[in-house]
Structure 1
């Protein structure tokens, strides 16, 4: 039985019963999944600080080296749609071990690369493993938790989702300065090996079951669409405007996604069940997930560039100055399921919007203390918004639909981040092209943060719908029955 978003069946209900303790199986699942999730999210940003070093080491141009970053994102996006079917067919735990093993082996290949071509190919392989880790990991822990526990588990999973990308530039900068760029890939190996061993020891290796035939047409259309759009957006940001490659990627990707939607609505057993969007709550949560991904990951690219471009800081210092955002997210984690998903998500989006306003007024001499304090608040806002939004989405679908919902939410968050990054890169590049002094450049960053503010406000709108749905569910005459039904699931 599906529970409405924010119904009292969730842990955040006003009259919620005492928190149900985690079973040993759930604790083991969360611990193991957090290892792989941390590695997957860390590698989305840790390589960014190595681009200039790679340019010198491989004597290659930026148009070639940027594929070290792009190849990972494209492979990551391409593999996510197939994870639901593969988990049903081969077993979620087995697929998780395989994905983490592929990611770890690919990290070794990246570290041993002797030319840029080998590094790009190894990064693509790394993306295939990394793309499957988080969706499959989510299926593992949701299978072991009740709907009343989902919010508290999401508070723990928030740590790698938010903290790892935030710390990526700082860790990467320290490793590159202390050793060399290969160290950022060697870092993955001991943790990857430990994650595989722990998964084999602590998780039951289910054999999977009947999943039906693979929707090959849907897989081709979905993967081509996501890759095309992601590539087009990345190329758009790299070229600082529309060029031939970006336009072709966006048009081809958009056409493929449109074809996938038409196919999925007709197919008997589609790769992804788009009928989930018939739920008002799931649709609102999905839109908010997309917009918050754009606001967070897009905004994340601006601050290190501000510290390096306007303030002249080193890559290590610039990365360390981002740490307060992760601290704020950690501070928010215990409260992500305290008052109900919808109300918490809207409150978090409001905090996120308000804390973005000071960045609109950046100058060449803005106090670092002030910036760090505001980044802590911004981290709190993101932690109180993205995790409750995802919690709300999971609470709207029956347990057997989790394998369909999980890949879609992961795709929306990653593609949202890609769109936000590309759009803000274009805005910032245009601003910096017309400004040369530090003061003028700071104004350009302020203009870019105006866009971040607009995206954040857009994310708050579906959160309002979630809060309204939650309040309405609490007032229903059958709310106690819904609470009881959710607690026993």
Structure 2
């Protein structure tokens, strides 16, 4: 029987029937939806200073416009697996894009810093579900034999998106106003919804209903929120007027949420390891490659987004660049990341993804180390070289680290591993932004930024340990090798 006559399956994805949505069409829709979500992790970074002025709020408050979005992304990702089983991946993708677009419209209409932060959370709740739903759709269509190639293809725009965010945000900020940084998502979201309704495959018959892990949800989401809130309070209370007089109160408002968040996350870990069908399958961490990849992604995500939070502010506050010029100055790292990711895909198959991660940490660390030496007179050429190293290292570490995690997993466990690794990466991103904001405080001089860049550098240096574990772990018969 010809291959085109074979029915498509949710596991293999081999040979679609005539008229069925093609894998390139599905991947295109998923990439467009994911770009909306990922761009908004950094698109507001160049507008932080403008938002502080327009909304009459301190930087320590406005940084929650970035942190709140990242936190909302992290708290919704654990629900993606259950929601896809319960409602279908196509329906989940459509609902997520619709919620993201509605949140964007609300952000554009915000009247205060507090309302903008609240609407960014709404936006993040939708954005956090877009990528997991999309990856599930690709997996159902591609099957294990085409999954790795497809993920490599869509990985390039997904890695570039955080770096294009400042350019887009800067252009809109200079041309119109900060509101259009959010309002531009509305027509773009409508286009993605129309394409998704036309091109995405219909959901198969729903699986038997699986009960939502309400206990896990009640522990995990508040735990994440409390942890990041505590970190943000450390920064906001440090330089506040009267901070010395109220030091005990300032410490309490920071340390109590930190302690509560750590306890809630520890309770969730205990719960998840004992329960079948937990919100996150932490038993996967018993696999050494998954555990090492999770730690690496936590640290790399924190270093990456922490640095991307600081870079636009560095150019604008310490070097006096416009928002659009800042976006242009950040383009070299995006180009370096895309080129490196394209080159390391085949190399990872040949020598192992773990070794690629370890090698990629060298330029990543060197670029961040150069940024810790920044001064008011540092030449633009030296800054560009540091950004090239930073971008090249990012392209050689993030995606290969995730690929390395799958090498010992059966096909049935890949989806659960994806959910786990994605939330770990998102958690690392939100913590990285919070740490960077804490370190910067209300600083505006080049020396303040040089000091703040030490935190992303420390996170990158810590990632060397799990990278060594991944490099030394080379099992046979991996999912990636079957691709």
TM-score (norm 1): 0.84
Q: Which residue of 2 aligns with 1:6?
A: none
Deviates more, 1:45-54 or 1:256-265: 45-54
Q: More deviation in 156-165 or 130-139?
A: 156-165
- Contact 1:146/1:486 (8 A) holds in 2: no
Partner of 2:228: 230
Cα gap change, 1:427 to 1:185, in 2 (>3 Å): closer
1:292 equivalenced with 2:296 (yes/no)? no
User: SS of the counterpart of 2:136?
Assistant: helix
Alignment of 1:274 with 2:289, yes or no, is no
1:323: Cα distance to partner? 1.4
Q: Does 1:311 align with 2:308?
A: no
Matched, 1:406 2:403: no
Segment drifting more, 159-168 vs 288-297? 159-168
What's 1:91 paired with? 88
Matched residues in 1 for 2:178 and 2:480: separation?
Answer: 49
Partner residue in 1 for 2:465:
461
Which whole-Å CA distance do the structure 2 matches of 1:52 and 1:354 have between them? 28
Partners of 1:50 and 1:486 in 2: CA distance:
40
Q: CA deviation at 1:199?
A: 1.5
Tell me whether 1:79 sits opposite 2:76 in the alignment. Answer: yes
Question: In the alignment, does 2:269 pair up with 1:283?
Answer: no
The CA deviation at 1:315 is 2.7
**Structure 2 match to 1:417:** 429
2:316 matches 1:331: no
Q: How far apart, CA to CA, are the structure 2 residues paired with 1:320 and 1:103?
A: 27
Task: State the alpha-carbon separation in 2 of the partners of residues 400 and 55 from structure 1.
Answer: 47
2-structure distance, mates of 1:149, 1:384: 21
From the superposition, tell whether residues 282 and 449 of structure 1 become closer, same or farther in structure 2 (CA, over 3 Å): same
Aligned twin of 1:35: 32
Contact 2:172/2:178 (<8 A) preserved: yes
Matches of 1:390 and 1:50 in 2, distance apart?
31
Aligned to 1:44, the other structure's residue is in SS state: coil
Kept after mapping to 1: 8 A contact 2:305/2:433? yes
| Counterpart contact for 2:71–2:430, Cα < 8 Å | no
RMSD: 2.8
Give the conservation status (yes or no) of the 8 Å contact 2:96–2:127.
yes
Match of 1:13 in 2: none
Number of matched residues? 452
Please show how residues 128-143 of structure 1 align to structure 2 within 5 Å.
128-143=125-140
Q: 2: distance between equivalents of 1:307 and 1:118?
A: 27
Go from structure 1 to structure 2 and tell me whether the alpha carbon gap of 1:239 and 1:221 turns closer, same or farther (over 3 Å shift).
same
Q: CA deviation at 1:85?
A: 0.8
Q: Does 1:47 align with 2:41?
A: no
Deviation of residue 33 (structure 1)? 1.2
Question: Which position in structure 1 is the counterpart of 2:3?
Answer: none
The equivalent of 1:257 in structure 2 is 265
User: Do the aligned partners of residues 371 and 271 (structure 1) sit closer, same or farther apart at CA in structure 2, a change above 3 Å counting?
Assistant: same
Whole-Å Cα distance in 1 between the matches of residues 54 and 374 of structure 2?
35
Deviation of 1:273 after TM superposition, in Å, equals 1.0
Does the aligned pair in 2 maintain the 1:110–1:122 contact within 8 Å? yes
Alignment partner, residue 400 of structure 2:
388
- Give 1:57 deviation, angstroms: 4.2
- Select the structure with the greater relative contact order (CA < 8 A; seq sep ≥ 6): 1
Aligned equivalents of 2:332 and 2:34: distance in 1? 21
Change (3 A) 1:460 1:56: closer
Q: 1:357 maps to which residue? A: 369
Secondary structure of 1:180's counterpart equals: coil
In the alignment, structure 1 segments of 5+ residues that lack a partner are 1-19, 474-478
Matched, 1:191 2:188: yes
Q: Which moved more, 1:281-290 or 1:343-352?
A: 343-352
After TM superposition, the score normalised by the length of structure 2 is 0.85
Aligned partner (choices 368, 374, 391) of residue 380 of structure 2 = 368
